[in-house]
Chains A and B, each alone.
Chain A
Amino acid sequence: MFGGLKAKLHAARSRLGSSIQTVITAPGSSGTGTAPQVPVSQKESPNQSPSAPASPSIVNKVKVLLIERELIVSETDVADALSELELTLLESDVALTATDAIIAHVKKILVGKHRKIGESVDSLVVGALRAALLEVLGNGFNLLDYIRTHPRPVKILFTGVNGTGKTTTVAKIGSYLRKQGFSVVIGAGDTYRAGAIEQIGVHAERLGIKIIQHPEGGDPSAVLFDTVQYAASHKIDVVLADTAGRFHTKANLMSQLDKIKRVMKPDLVVYVDEAVAGNDAVIRAFEFDKTIGADAVILTKADMDSRGGAAISIAHTIGKPLMFIGTGQSYDDIAPFEPAQVVEELLGDS
């Protein structure tokens, strides 16, 4: 999923690197003394020159001046490269607000930084980017650990706008949890959309998962309440509660969701959105988090050549961990989201 973003980040990174490089080589070539410099004691320097520490001498002083000299990166040095990085993020669907925050962060790390001449430019930039991205993405969410450490049944409510893939995701997670040895029951809480009950019904049948259904047009709270009752009396580990897609702008549908939440008392509210969403991802994630709350996020449709920007946007907006990524049409196309690994992959060298 992050292939596109990765390629672009690499390009931006080398650009950023070279821009800093030019700043550094310029004063270096004109001999000593012209560049802003702050000599440091050799003890503090991790990039120790090959020679062993010796008593201060002319040679050492020169060495400090030439090799251990530090340079200060100024704002103008990185302006061009940062605006390129900004475009890269925007093109990868990172929302404008999130992009601004990341750029500000990278700039803060880079600008005014004392860079030793021996230190690689690359590592400096990568460090800054990594810190920024990791900060935004936060920690992942381990569902299995969560279920293991909480009283059964663990009730999970899925929310989101229309067409993001809630029903398919519920089926995928049902399948995933079954494979991990948990018993699962699904509540068909989408009683509004034509064909939705049939859709989740067929999924459940294929997977051999028990499903609680009411007829179309029924009260979703009632269905999901029944599902929780069923799980409690049959000692089932996990309740997966599907709901109808709804827009955050529809107050009555949102209050319906609020009622569902009051009635079934979910342990986890999972917000489902698609990886291909643009700037609106930020707005709706914020609204859902504000009105209903969200404990974790699942991104779907990550196989659509998306650049993963929505992950960064949503995580930045509501600060909730990403739990899973949906990557295809079959039941196994779902993967736990691990931010560190993703960031490593993005910034790795291959």
Chain B
Amino acid sequence: MLDGLSTSLKDALRKLAGKTVIDRAAVDELVKDLQRALISSDVNVKLVMELSKAVRTRSSEEEPLKGMTVREHVLRIVYQELVRLVWASTDVKLEPQTVLMAGLQGSGKTTTTAKLARYFQKKGMKVGVICADTFRPGAFDQISTLCTKIHVPCYGSLQEKDALKITREGLAALKEQELIIVDTQGRHALEADLIREIINLNNLTKATHRWLVIDAALGQQASEQARRFHEAINIDGVIITKMDGTAKGGGAMSAVAETRSGIAFIGSGETIEDLERFDPDGFISRLLGMGDLKALMEKANEAIQPQDVDMNAMMKGKFTLRDMYKQLEAVNKMGPLKQIMGMLPLGNMELPEGVYDVTSTKMVRYRIIMDSMTPRELDDPSLINSSRMQRIAHGAGATPDEVRELLKYYKMMQRTLKGLRGASGGKFNMQRLMKRFSGMQ
């Protein structure tokens, strides 16, 4: 999901990373690329303009944090401004509650209602559904068919045309259930009668949550519609549907910004199981290809002690097995290597795929093998000949092939780090990286 947006945002940032001088023109270009990327994902134009204005003024007015380059400074601002767009995730508690579904026609409320029922049912809650859509033909058939499949009680009526009456009766009939979801008729903000109806429904049900269902393809209208729904019933969560198509969901993001709520769920398929919780942590970071900076910062702080990894020595090309051992140890505390590398803002540097092909179990094996090496071997791996290899393998309970593999991996790491050093002009400084992370919020 969001792949297209992610790619274009990443390209924009890569361009910035590739620049030698970060001046006003470079920032302007970045902002322009950002604008295009966000607008073509249907993020509200006004929001985009606000964001770009903020990036422009903040990058020229604010002083970079100590130890931060201008480039990092600008990246940080972009990151922070984008985070402001998405807000936080909506809190979903597993306790007795009533959920009122609202949304435009055809946004997928009924399907989502069934998916939600299934989601909470799987969490062990007793769920009931009320069908308050008395307008669309087949609506009650649809939801009752879906509910029957998952054995969830569904209250509704084919004859009754008064949604309030049905809901009142439904609440009474389903009072045994812990969670009641009220599916409503599709409506848009200009239909005054229907907006009044949903206000009444909200008052009647005293809903714990009022979730707005938004089609991922919805365009610039999303903000305006969300605002009006918010005014009417105080929306406290947004569910984005149809994320399995090519739509980017920028409209829904705008709706989130408009209602100052969060994205509660994401629907991404036609079966009843296709509903995910939305996890905002690192959402933007991943979007930007900057990795999960916040998570990395936390991890790095707890995992790496200064003496653990001497990045500077490594960068100078003195990368020995001993360094790799330390590195593997540190990495082990932080998580898989690919994730770590993905977290580092390496800009346009391409790392060979093989670097990542080390699973955590393999890393443990590598460390055991290295434990069987002599200090001299660790300092100078070129000493290792076939008889030493035999001895190491024997001592570690491994095969000589595994030892060979380890040495191959070591050589690849060494090459990669040399490459890094070349590309970033020898300024790849772990300390600075850490500072950058702590600067990010």
Partner of B218, one of A198, A202, A216, A278: A278
Of the candidates A202, A279, A304, the one whose C-beta lies within 8 Å of that of B40 is: A279
Chain B interface helix/strand/loop/mixed: loop
Contact (Cβ within 8 A) A301 B105: yes
Q: Could you name 6 residue pairs across A and B whose Cβ atoms are closer than 8 Å? A: A96-B39, A195-B143, A248-B246, A277-B217, A309-B220, A329-B105
B217 and A278 form a contact (CB under 8 A)? yes
Q: A280-B245, A284-B246, A304-B188 are in contact. Are A163 and B41 (CB under 8 A)?
A: no
Q: Is the CB of A199 within 8 A of B217?
A: no
B422 on interface, CB distance cutoff 8 Å: no
Q: Which residues of B contact A248 (CB under 8 A)?
A: 245-246
Contact across chains for A276 and B246 when beta carbons are under 8 A apart:
no
B106 contacts A274, CB within 8 Å? yes
Q: If A203-B137, A280-B42 touch, does A305 touch B251 (CB 8 Å cutoff)?
A: no
CB distance from A15 to the nearest CB of B (A): 16
State whether A280 touches B188 (Cβ < 8 A): no
Binding site for B on A (CB under 8 A): 87, 90-93, 95-96, 161-165, 192-203, 216, 247-250, 274, 276-281, 283-284, 287, 300-301, 303-307, 309-310, 329
Interface string of B252-275 (1 = CB under 8 A from A): 000000000000000000100000
Q: Cβ of B135 and Cβ of A301 under 8 Å apart? A: no
Chain A residues within an 8 Å CB radius of B297: none
Residues of B within 8 A of A194 (CB): 141-143, 145-146
Q: Is the CB of B135 within 8 A of A329?
A: yes
Tell me whether A90 and B39 are in contact in the complex, defined as CB-CB below 8 angstroms, given that A278-B218, A279-B248 are known contacts.
yes
B137 touches A162 (CB 8 A): no
Q: How close is A238's CB to chain B, nearest CB, in angstroms? A: 21
Q: Which residues from chain A contact B49 at a C-beta distance below 8 Å?
A: 87
Contact with A along B21-59 (1 / 0, CB 8 A): 000000000000000100111100110010000000000
Count how many chain B residues have C-beta atoms less than 8 Å from C-beta atoms of the other chain: 48
Q: Name the residue on B nearest A162 (C-beta).
A: B242
Nearest B residue to A283 via CB reads B246
Contacts of A249 in B (CB 8 A): 244-246
In the complex with contacts A161-B245, A303-B188, A280-B216 CB distance below 8 A: yes
| Cα distance A250–B244 in the bound complex, in angstroms | 9
Given contacts A91-B46, A303-B190, 14 further A-B contacts (CB under 8 A): A92-B220, A161-B242, A162-B242, A194-B146, A247-B245, A248-B246, A249-B246, A278-B220, A279-B39, A279-B40, A284-B246, A301-B104, A301-B188, A304-B189
Checking A162, A279, A305 against B188 with a beta-carbon cut-off of 8 angstroms, the contacting residue is: A305
Would B218 and A279 count as touching, CB distance under 8 A? no
A203 to B136, CA, bound (A): 10
Contacts of A92 in B (CB 8 A): 220
Contacts of A281 in B (CB 8 A): 217, 219
Given the complex of chains A and B, what is the CA–CA distance between A129 and B47 in angstroms? 27
- The answer to whether A193 touches B104, judged by C-beta atoms less than 8 angstroms apart, is no
In Å, the complex CA distance between A287 and B45 comes to 26
The 8 closest A-B pairs by CB, nearest first: A278-B219, A195-B142, A199-B138, A202-B137, A163-B106, A278-B42, A280-B247, A194-B145
